[in-house]
Structure 1
Amino acid sequence: MNMNRLGRTDMMVSEICLGTMTWGEQNTEADAHEQMDYALTQGVNFFDTAEMYPTQPTRAETQGLTEEYFGSWFRKSGKRDEVILATKMGGNGVEWIRGGQGFTRASVMEAVDGNLKRLGVDHIDLYQLHWPNRGSYHFRKHWAFDASTQDKTTTVDDIHETLEGLGDAVKAGKIRAVGLSNESAWGTMQFVRLAEEHGLPRVASIQNEYSLICRMFDTDLAEVAHHEDVGLLAFSPLAAGILSGKYQGGEIPEGSRRAAVENLGGRWRPETEAATQAYLEVARKHGLDPSQMAIAFCMTRSFMTSTIIGATTIDQLKTAIGSWDVKLSDAVLDDIATARRAHPLPI
C-alpha cells in the first residue's frame, strides 16, 4: 500500500482510507471490528469517522455509535498506535448535536472532548470541520448555489474564530492536525491565509466528494491542493455504490444504501444512470471490475492524499481495498476521458 504525506505534517497515510459512516446503522459493532482488523492487515493505516455518524439515515438515536465502535475496538485490539485516526465535528443545523450550533471557539473544544470520550483515546490525529458554517455547494446544492447571500465580514471572522478554537485543541494536545470537509477553494484559502497570518493550525487536507461522476475538485480546488499542500480525501468514490453498476435498470438490492435512501442524496438521476453505463462499458472493454476501476481512477489524481472507501460487507471491503493494486493504462484513462466529455456533470 502506498503512503502519502498528510499536508505539511509528519504523518504518512495510506492511499486508501477506511470510511465508517454505515457503522451503527447498516453495520454492527462486530462488523466494524472485522473491517478494521482486515484493513490493517492490508496496509490501510488511515481510518475516518465523524461525531454525527452513522448515516443512512442520520438519527439522534444512533448518533455517536460509530465513534463508540472505534473505542471498543481500540480497547480490544490495543492497536491505537497503528492507526492515523481522523474524525469530524458537525456544524450547524443538526439539532441533537450541541443544539444545532455551528463552529465557535468554545464549541470546538466541547466537540473535541465529546469525540475523545466516545473514541476512548487521548488525542485525534486529524480533526475535520464537517461543513462550513456559511453553508456550501456540496451534496447537489451547487445547482442553486448563491454566494452573494454570505456576509463578507462575519464569514471571515467566523473562520478566524473557528481556527482559534482548533488552535486551543492543538495546544492542549487533543488534536495533531486539522482538516476541512465540503469546502470551496475560497474557503480553503481563507483558512490557509488566516492560519499563516495568526500562527494558527494550518489545514492539512480537505474531504470532499469525488468520483468519476462528481469531479468538481478538478479545477480550482486542484490548484489550491497543488500550491498549498492541502490534499483531497475523497469520499464516495463509488458515488454511494452507483458506479458498481448494482442500481442499473432500476435495481434496488435488499440491504443496499438505495433501499434506505432511494435517491442516494440526490445522486440517482436518469443522467447518473446513463453516465454510469458509459463507465461500466469502459470497465468491461478493459476487463476491469467497475468498482475497482472507479477507485483506482481516484488514486491516479495528483491532488489525492487518500481515497475513502466504505463497505457494508467484508467482500465489498476486500474488493475496494484491492483497488490499490489496479493500475489503469493510458488506454483506460483515454476512454474514461471520452466518457466524461459525453457525461460532464451527471449529478
Structure 2
Amino acid sequence: MTMKYKNLGSSNLNVSQVCLGTMTFGEQNSEEESFAIMDFAVSKGINFFDTAEAYPSPIRSETAGRTEEIIGSWLVNKPREKIILATKVVGYQLNSHLPGNRKVPRSTEPQLARLDRANIEEAIEASLRRLRTDYVDLYQFHWPDRYVPFFHTGAFDISKVRKDMISFDEQVLTIKRLIDAGKIRYWGVCNETTYGICRLVEACDRLGVPRPVSIQNSYSLVNRRFEADLIEACYYYNIHLLPWSPLSRGALTGKYLENPQPEGARHTLFPDHMSQYFSERVMEATKTYSDIAKRYQMKVSHLALAFCKSRWFIGSTIVGSTKIPQLQDNLDAFDIDLNENIIKEINDAYLKHGDAAQPFYLE
C-alpha cells in the first residue's frame, strides 16, 4: 500500500493514516517480537505509535509500564524525529496500583490515581524515562478524572457522580506547564464525552492553553455512537478521532463466528476482558457485515477498516497486531475505497443492529 498522511486535528503532527497500537507488547508479544512489529510498521510507512503508562493490556499492576519500556529500548536506536509518539496518563482510579509503576523501585502500595498536577507531572516523568526520550508528541488523558460510564459500562448513573473531581482548570494548566517545558508537543483525550470536550476547550480558551487536538474513543461498525453527538463538538473544535478497537477486539475479523475460542486469539486468552464485544448482539451484527463483505469479495475485517478510512473525522486508525502477517493483512484494507453502494449497505445494517457493542441499559 501507499501510506497516506494528514495533520492531526489543529496540530502540525503529520500522522500516517494507520497508527500502530502497542498494548500487546510485554504481554502477548515479547520484546523481540515487538521490535520486529515496529520495524515492519515503519517499513510500511507507519510513523504514529500509540501506547500508555498502564500498558500492556489487560492492565495489571505487575506489568504496567512494560510496553513503554519496550518501545523505549527500540526507540533509542532510531531517529526520534521520524516517530510520532503518543502515550497516556491514567485517570481516576481508587486503590490503584498503576501510579506505582512511576517509581523506581516500583511501589506496591495502592494509591489514588488522579488527573491533578502532581499525578500528571509524576506520570510524564516516568513515561519519558521508560520511553527514553525527552518529549512525547501527543499526551493523552486515558480516561477522565470525573465519573463517566467509559469502556461501555452502561448508562450515566447519577449515584456514581463524585464531588471531588479535579477541576478542568487544573488539568489544562498542568498540560500548559508540560508544553512550556518542552515535555509534550500536543495533547488529547480518551474515552471522553461531549460535556468533557466542551468544558476542557472552554478552560483552554479562557486560560490561554492550546486546545486538545485528538480524542481516542471506541469506534467501529458495531459502535458508532461518536457520530451521534461527539462529532459536532469535535468538528467545531477541529479535534480528530483516533478510533480504538476498530475491529472490536477481533470480533469483526469474523473468526469467532466459526470458532468461539480460536487458539491464541485475544478473547480466548482473556475472555473477561472487554467481553461486551463478544455478545450475541455483536455476533449477529458481525454476521450481517460479513455477508456484506462477501458480496463485495472482501474480508469483513477489511470492510471494517476501510469503513474507518472512509470517515472524514478520523485522524488515524489505531491497529494492533501480534504478528507481522496480521499487520500486513490489516494494512491491505487501507487500499480499499468503499463505494456508495457498500456504504449504503453498511448504514442499512447499522439501522438494524445499532451499537451492538454498547450495553446501553437503564436500571
TM over 0.5: yes
Q: CA RMSD in A?
A: 1.5
Moved over 4 A (4+): none
Counterpart for residue 140 of structure 1: 152
Q: Which amino acid aligns with 1:245?
A: G
Deviates more, 1:283-292 or 1:132-141: 132-141
Counterpart for residue 271 of structure 1: 281
Q: Deviation at 1:151?
A: 5.7
Q: Which amino acid aligns with 2:199?
A: Q
1:60-106 C-alpha deviation (Å, 9 max, x unpaired)? 11111110111111123x22211110000012226112223211012
TM-score by length of 1: 0.95
1:16-59 C-alpha deviation (Å, 9 max, x unpaired)? 1000001100011111111111111111111000000001x321
Counterpart for residue 342 of structure 1: 352
- Pairs within 5 Å for 1:20-99: 20-55=22-57, 57-76=58-77, 78-93=78-93, 95-98=96-99, 99=111
Counterpart for residue 138 of structure 2: 126
- SS in structure 2 at match of 1:44: coil
Whether contact under 8 Å (1:48, 1:86) holds in the other structure is yes
Deviates more, 1:58-67 or 1:272-281: 58-67
Counterpart for residue 193 of structure 1: 202
CA distance in 2, matches of 1:274, 1:100: 40
- Pairs within 5 Å for 1:297-312: 297-312=307-322
**Unaligned regions of 5+ residues in structure 1, if any?**
none
CA distance in 1, matches of 2:55, 2:162: 30
Whether contact under 8 Å (1:131, 1:182) holds in the other structure is yes
- Pairs within 5 Å for 1:287-306: 287-306=297-316
Counterpart for residue 110 of structure 1: 122
- SS in structure 2 at match of 1:240: helix
Q: Deviation at 1:345?
A: 2.3
Deviates more, 1:231-240 or 1:249-258: 249-258
Q: Which amino acid aligns with 1:6?
A: L
Deviates more, 1:111-120 or 1:245-254: 245-254
Residues 46 and 277 of structure 1, relative CA distance in 2, 3 Å threshold = same
Q: Which amino acid aligns with 1:150?
A: V
| Structure 2 residue 163 is matched with structure 1 residue 163 | no
Whether contact under 8 Å (1:19, 1:310) holds in the other structure is yes
CA distance in 1, matches of 2:309, 2:159: 35
**Unaligned regions of 5+ residues in structure 2, if any?**
100-110, 358-363
CA distance in 2, matches of 1:148, 1:187: 19
Counterpart for residue 224 of structure 1: 233
| Structure 2 residue 310 is matched with structure 1 residue 281 | no
Q: Which amino acid aligns with 2:65?
A: G
- SS in structure 1 at match of 2:96: coil
Q: Which amino acid aligns with 1:271?
A: R
Whether contact under 8 Å (1:91, 1:100) holds in the other structure is no
Whether contact under 8 Å (1:182, 1:209) holds in the other structure is yes
Whether contact under 8 Å (1:240, 1:264) holds in the other structure is no
Q: Which amino acid aligns with 2:69?
A: E
CA distance in 1, matches of 2:79, 2:290: 38
CA distance in 2, matches of 1:91, 1:149: 16
Whether contact under 8 Å (2:92, 2:146) holds in the other structure is no
CA distance in 2, matches of 1:9, 1:312: 30
- SS in structure 2 at match of 1:305: coil
Q: Which amino acid aligns with 2:83?
A: V
1:172-212 C-alpha deviation (Å, 9 max, x unpaired)? 11000010000001101111111011011310100000000
Q: Which of 324, 335, 338 is the equivalent residue of 1:328?
A: 338
Residues 292 and 14 of structure 1, relative CA distance in 2, 3 Å threshold = same
CA distance in 2, matches of 1:161, 1:224: 22
CA distance in 2, matches of 1:32, 1:80: 17
Q: Deviation at 1:250?
A: 4.8
1:146-186 C-alpha deviation (Å, 9 max, x unpaired)? 2575368x65x622111111111111110000100000011
Deviates more, 1:231-240 or 1:165-174: 165-174
Counterpart for residue 107 of structure 2: none
1:111-133 C-alpha deviation (Å, 9 max, x unpaired)? 00000000000000000000001
CA distance in 2, matches of 1:317, 1:282: 23
